[in-house]
Structure formats: structure tokens, C-alpha cells
Structure 1
């Protein structure tokens, strides 16, 4: 059985240089990255369609690696597209109900996802309270990993290569032997 394709799904404003999603895109095998037409004023329909197109171009099963608003876009996928997903690493989900520019993504779906998922959230994420992230995890049937004082789990909070994330991705069946030495 071949390794699933990893689909990197950045959030609002994209994941820039040095962000773990960008590093993983460059360095891991079997990776496709979702590129949106508008990273600043996101529209649910456009974002979900671009994610759908990316998943459909992948051969075989996929593992989604979503950050922030990318997590919410992933939960809005239609069932026939979600059926292609083997697993999802959902990191630092957004709260579109409290941030006007993201309001098109509300309401957030609150039903069990049809694939295994791991949701990683931080106790001090400025964009989503950890209690809300926990509610998402319960509703989606996700394993919940709570990090202490990890911010938005991005470059600003000191997360570059993010070895813990790679280990969680590997637990979802992805081939994550990076092309660089991972620091402990």
C-alpha cells in the first residue's frame, strides 16, 4: 500500500516562511499544498472548493494537515470528498464566530468527522480559546492534544520544524521522514 498524500491546508493569511507548514511542504515527500486566491478576505465556498480540488488531484488516500482557518475549511468538506481522507491533523483551529473577517465560515460544523483526527490546541491561543477547541474536538470525535502556553502554534510562538507535530502526523499514517535532521 502506498503512502498517503499529505495535504497542507494553511489558515487565514497563509503560513509564511519558517512556519512548520511551509517547512513540511518543502521537506516531506508526497505533499500537496492548498493555495487560495484570497488569503486576506476568505470565503468559505472558494476555500472549500480549492481544498476539494487539491484532494481530488491526489492519488489515493490523503492525510490533511490544517492550521487555524484551514481546520474549519476542512470540516466543511462535502461527504464524498471527506471520504478520501485517511486522517487529519487539525492544529490551532480558528473561531470564525468571533472574528468578523472569518464570519463566512460560521457556523462551524459540530458533527463527528468520518476519519481519524487529532486536534492540537494551546492554552493561550489568542485566536481560539482552549475550551472552544476542546468542544470542537468532542464534536468532531478528535483526539485532543492540549499544549501549555504554545500560542497559535506558529512562527510567532516559536514553532518552526515542530517535531511533536511530525510525530502526530506519523501517527495518522503519513510518511514523515523529513529531508532534514529533526531536533529533539
Structure 2
């Protein structure tokens, strides 16, 4: 059975954030790690993600937002596991991030007007990671502040990743 692991960004997502709504709506979605109250420390987040991924041999689809995308990229450089795919939503520009291809299928969602990442940078990350680029249009950081609570288009992307390659 496929596990769906939500990888949080830098802060705690608001209750109406799409990731929080998905966690409430889908019993098989689990936080990896639970959204923290502490500042973002990549090594800590990678270790926490590894703990959740390695807790089972069931295949996993990672669903990351913002700095969570950075966590996934660092995890993929250090560990292997039953991860089959990742949805990487609006990765931020600025923090150091591995640029090697990810060892699993990925979709990288990039916004045309993200205040945390230029479109060309996000487009280059998608290429570097070997992922499929999804141009989300002008959607800000695709978070609660940008008006995204529900995000049905994102759920369709997850379904695509969970299906056969």
C-alpha cells in the first residue's frame, strides 16, 4: 500500500493550507515530520524524514512544499528507501540545495510570481532534479497567503505520481 508523506516547509502551515486540508481529508497521508515550531534546520528535517521513510518498506510518495522540497533533495542525496515519487511544490530560492537528479519520479510545481523563487530558478531546479515542470501560473507561493486552501489540481498531480510510471 502506498504511503503519502507530507514534508512541511519552513514554518507551520495554517489550518486552511492545502497540505493541512489533505492531511485531514486523507487517512493515508502522514506528516514527515510533523510541522515543527522550531526554526528550519536542514539536517534535523532530513533525519526526521528518514525516520518516517525507513519505518516501513511500503512505497512512499513525498509531497513537499517550499523548504520541504529542499529537505527532499538533501534526503535523496544521503539515503535510499521505498520512495517512488515526489510532488515538489514551489521550492524556495536561496538555501543551498543539491542539484543532482532525484532517484525517483518527480513533478516540480513552479509559480510565475512566487515571492520566494523566480520562475527561471524553479524551472532550472526541475531540469536539474530530472522532474516534470508544472507551470502553475501566477499563484504566489501556493500557500494560504496566496489564497490556496483547497488545491484540487495538486491532488490530481499526486494521483498521477501514485499511478504506474
| TM-score under structure 2 length normalisation | 0.91
Q: Which has the larger radius of gyration?
A: 1
1:102 maps to which residue?
none
Deviation at 1:83, TM superposition (A): 3.5
Q: Which of 173, 176, 181 is 2:162 aligned to? A: 173
Q: Which of 158, 162, 166 is 2:147 aligned to? A: 158
After superposition, the C-alpha distances for 1:134-171 in whole angstroms (9 at most, x for unaligned) are 01000000000012110000111111120000000000
2:93 maps to which residue?
95
Deviation at 1:57, TM superposition (A): 2.0
2:6 maps to which residue?
8
For the aligned residues, what is the CA RMSD? 1.8
CA contact (8 A) 2:65 2:88 kept: yes
1:18 maps to which residue?
16
Alignment of 1:1-184 (within 5 A): 2=1, 4-35=2-33, 39-78=37-76, 81-97=79-95, 106=96, 108-173=97-162
Structure 1's unaligned 5+ residue stretches are: 98-105, 175-184
Aligned residues: 163
| TM-score under structure 1 length normalisation | 0.82
Q: Secondary structure at the match of 1:7?
A: strand
CA distance in 2, matches of 1:95, 1:21: 21
CA contact (8 A) 1:32 1:54 kept: no
Query: Post-superposition, which runs of at least 4 consecutive aligned residues in structure 1 deviate over 4 A?
Result: 36-40
CA distance in 2, matches of 1:63, 1:169: 8
Structure 2's unaligned 5+ residue stretches are: none
Q: Secondary structure at the match of 2:9?
A: coil
